[in-house]
Chains A and B, each alone.
Chain A
């Protein structure tokens, strides 16, 4: 029989792991973008061209840093999914879009329009609403 933890602790634990996901996820995406930007778009989808493109991808340092960050993200993701609802974790982690926009500007030098900022703000508002619901609505399996 598992111990039933106080609801507040469960919520705090969930938010802490989502914060880690929000850090590692966007960082991984930015590293991947850096790597793919250096490699460029695939020229044709023939087998030799695709294999050559795949070799370029797996020999890129930035791609491996991206994969490392995304692995950390995935471990945190697995842990939080062991107790929290998927329908809570998925939208709550949408805060990462704000982090992606910020990293896009600061690290990759990309331009983000005011309309896109508005979209990101509405996404964050949605995340706040989700954050005010219980992290788990199902019973833990015995």
Chain B
């Protein structure tokens, strides 16, 4: 892996996960959506975009998106996407410590298996 590829990889994992955690925080402030009519979905998204966390999350995810575009121009999609799955570890920790989610043992095991799968993909 070259230096630009490694840097892109770090941005994809950490900016991507941080952005998703921020977006998740914004959506939790909105509350559970029950009505999925286009009008209501548009209204929910409109309300979400009036929350600061949403913009912070989108900014981080935008950085991750352009890093992904660069990475996709260098490597095959079936290699790039699984490798970015390391963000699952960061996501689980972020969910627990930043969003106050209670993660059962089974879910931690699942995340661990995802990581093992990622390692297998990387060495293959």
Contacts and interface: CB of A to CB of B under 8 A. Distances in A.
Interface of A: 2-3, 5, 26, 29-30, 32-33, 36-37, 39-42, 57, 75, 77-79, 81-83, 85-91, 94, 96-97, 100-101, 103-105, 108, 110, 112-116, 118-134, 137-138, 140-141
A97 B115 CA distance: 13
B15 interface: no
Nearest to B32: A83
Contact of A118 (B101, B106, B120): B120
Contact of A126 (B28, B72, B112): B112
Nearest to A54: B66
B106 A110 contact: no
Contacts of A125: 113, 117
Contacts of A137: 101-104
Contacts of B73: 36-37, 39-42
A72 to B, nearest CB: 11
Instruction: Output the residue of A33, A100, A130 with the most chain B CB within 10 A.
Output: A130
Interface string B87-124: 11001101110011111101101111111111111111
B110 A104 contact: no
Interface residues of B, number: 61
Instruction: State the main secondary structure of chain B at its contact with A.
Output: helix
Contacts, number: 198
A81 B118 CA distance: 24
B120 A138 contact: no
B114 A110 contact: no
Contacts of B78: 100-101, 104-105, 110, 112, 116
Contact of B31 (A2, A128, A133): A2
A99 B100 CA distance: 31
A94 B116 contact: no
Contacts of B109: 126, 129
B77 to A, nearest CB: 4
A120 B118 CA distance: 8
A121 B117 contact: yes
A82 B107 CA distance: 20
A66 B45 CA distance: 21
Contact of A90 (B20, B31, B120): B20
